[in-house]
């Protein structure tokens, strides 16, 4: 099934890579969230709901994705890349309950975020209008969402290109290094879509989906990796370029960094998202 991102409801996962929330200064927002396991993700949050109904906050109806640029929101200061693996998933429903999710494509995602302490909902730091997020135009078909599938061989790299120099912004990390991945992740997603309530910084994402007709496909960015020391302490500026790359482990991090510096990617097995940061 082919897809049009503008027609898909899009979501993110909070706390699916150990240490990221602490680096982002957001762990306190989830201190009262009870999880079955210590390292379990904390919540699903919405980033875009097409044809948003009255139940859905109006701002979530604005399409926030652009594969070439991030528009820096007026009046904000602390903006960070969030390097992630995104999944396109086929959804099967049983009435108003989500029955199954099958990942069919994956690629590089920037779930770009404003560091804004005290925001009532996670989504308020995620979608501030057009060009506030990113998904690579080169998505890769999944031949099986399990340990021996092609996605298990991929790694996530993240760089910042500033003033002619390239810096490692996120720790080079394996996709299978997520706290929840493969069947454990899809089972968790199904449970959360069916049971998550509108409380704390979380929202009733299941009701959002039902309100727009129980869609047959959704997009989920499954969590940001940890930052390097540079990434943790350097926020985005006008003219920067954000680079998120999902690449097969036949390449080394050094090779990928060289490709990023030269902006030269010929292998279709590499999913690249490169975005210019532009002041509003």
User: In the 3-class helix/strand/coil scheme, how is 116-152 assigned residue by residue?
Assistant: CCCCCCHHHHCCCCCCCEEECCCCEECCCCCCCCHHH
SS3 267: coil
Spatial separation of the C-alpha atoms in residues 62 and 113, rounded to whole Å: 16
C-alpha dihedral (232, 235, 240, 244), degrees to nearest 10: 40
The predicted model scores a pTM of 0.94
Per-residue pLDDT tens digits for 208-221: 999 999 999 999 99
DSSP 228: P
Where the chain has pLDDT below 50, the residues are 20, 24, 27
DSSP 226: P
Spatial separation of the C-alpha atoms in residues 79 and 246, rounded to whole Å: 22
What is the predicted pLDDT for the residue at 206? Answer: 96
Per the CB < 8 A criterion, the answer to whether 26 and 12 are in contact is no
- Domain range list for the chain: 5-141+178-237
Spatial separation of the C-alpha atoms in residues 245 and 270, rounded to whole Å: 7
What is the predicted pLDDT for the residue at 52? Answer: 82
What is the predicted pLDDT for the residue at 33? Answer: 58
What is the predicted pLDDT for the residue at 40? Answer: 86
Contacts of 198 (CB under 8 A, 6+ apart): 204
Per-residue pLDDT tens digits for 269-278: 999 999 999 9
Nearest to 71 by CA among 110, 25, 103: 110
Nearest to 40 by CA among 152, 142, 153, 191: 191
> Was domain 5-141+178-237 assigned CATH 3.90.850?
yes
CB atoms within 10 A of CB 138: 17
In order, the DSSP letters of 179-236 are SS-HHHHHHHHHHHHHH--S-TT---HHHHHHHTT--SEEEEEEEE-PBPHHHHH---
């Amino acid at each position: 099934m082919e897809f049009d991102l503008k027609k898909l409801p899009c979501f993110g996962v909070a706390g699916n890579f150990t240490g990221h929330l602490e680096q982002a200064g957001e762990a306190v927002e989830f201190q009262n969230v009870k999880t079955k396991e210590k390292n379990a993700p904390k919540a699903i949050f919405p980033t875009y709901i097409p044809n948003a109904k009255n139940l859905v906050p109006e701002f979530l109806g604005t399409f926030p994705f652009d594969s070439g640029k991030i528009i820096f929101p007026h009046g904000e200061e602390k903006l960070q890349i969030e390097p992630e693996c995104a999944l396109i998933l086929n959804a099967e429903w049983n009435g108003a309950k989500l029955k199954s999710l099958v990942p069919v494509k994956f690629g590089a995602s920037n779930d770009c975020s404003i560091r804004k302490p005290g925001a009532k909902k996670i989504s308020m730091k995620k979608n501030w209008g057009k060009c506030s997020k990113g998904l690579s135009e080169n998505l890769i078909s999944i031949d099986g969402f399990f340990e021996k599938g092609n996605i298990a061989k991929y790694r996530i790299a993240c760089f910042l290109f500033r003033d002619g120099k390239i810096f490692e912004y996120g720790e080079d990390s394996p996709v299978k290094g997520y706290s929840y991945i493969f069947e454990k992740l899809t089972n968790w997603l199904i449970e959360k879509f069916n049971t998550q309530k509108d409380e704390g910084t979380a929202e009733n994402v299941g009701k959002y989906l039902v309100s727009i007709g129980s869609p047959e496909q959704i997009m989920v960015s499954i969590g940001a990796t940890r930052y390097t020391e540079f990434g943790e302490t350097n926020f985005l500026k006008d003219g920067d370029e954000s680079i998120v790359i999902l690449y097969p482990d036949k390449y080394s991090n050094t090779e990928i960094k060289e490709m990023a510096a030269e902006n030269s990617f010929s292998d279709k097995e590499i999913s690249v998202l490169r975005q210019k940061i532009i002041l509003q």
